[in-house]
Copies of this chain bind each other. A is one copy, B any other.
């Protein structure tokens, strides 16, 4: 991979720029001490439902899916979700924290074309990016909702490349999600897996181009 051949640095949002488990605190407050497990199930079900809707061909927006996954997670852990709790938790999802290094790293990379490319729909993605005060850093915020094809479908990455007006091999794509890295590689992006949790590489014959423990690693692409 040649540094000069890369025209766009493209970032996944959830888990990569934003810490989805920063809702634990609110979950703990609402469901006494069950914040960790509810938050974990919520995220797992959110990903599973996105995959299943993609496979079944009955797309729903990531906002709807996030709401459905929340309902499932709360039930699984024997709690009740009233309307107030639902609203507070969905609101918390629009206020996730960025990981500590995010803003500094992005600021240093501003002479490249920078984009977010997410499964999130704009109704959740735009307010989230706005409240974190990093909107202006990005040239484009691309949501799969624009074509209703979730990552890791080939059609989704292809759409992102088209919107960015670059060839697949001109993209370096960053994600903390192994499945997203596999999907990006399957389409033809270069990939940097942000392996925040020190997990094994996914066994999908789709290895990342490079692995970093957090986003500071990509500063070598300046």
Binding site for B on A (CB under 8 A): 45, 48-49, 51-58, 68-69, 71-72, 75-76, 150, 152-154, 179, 182-183, 186, 199-200, 202-204
Contacts and interface: CB of A to CB of B under 8 A. Distances in A.
Contact of A153 (B45, B48, B56, B179): B56
A105 to B, nearest CB: 28
A49 B55 CA distance: 13
Count identical subunits in the complex. 2
Given A48-B179, A76-B200, 9 more contacts: A49-B203, A55-B55, A55-B153, A56-B152, A56-B154, A57-B154, A58-B186, A68-B204, A69-B203
Contacts of A72: 200, 202-203
Contact of A203 (B71, B199, B200): B71
B53 A55 contact: no
Given A76-B199, A200-B75, A182 B69 contact: no
B75 A182 contact: no
Nearest to A68: B203
A7 B202 CA distance: 42
Contacts of A54: 55
A55 B183 CA distance: 9
Contact of A51 (B55, B68, B71): B55
Contacts of A179: 48, 52
23 contacts: A45-B203, A48-B48, A49-B203, A51-B52, A51-B55, A52-B182, A52-B204, A53-B204, A54-B55, A55-B152, A55-B153, A56-B152, A56-B153, A56-B154, A56-B182, A56-B183, A57-B153, A57-B154, A58-B186, A68-B204, A69-B203, A76-B199, A76-B200
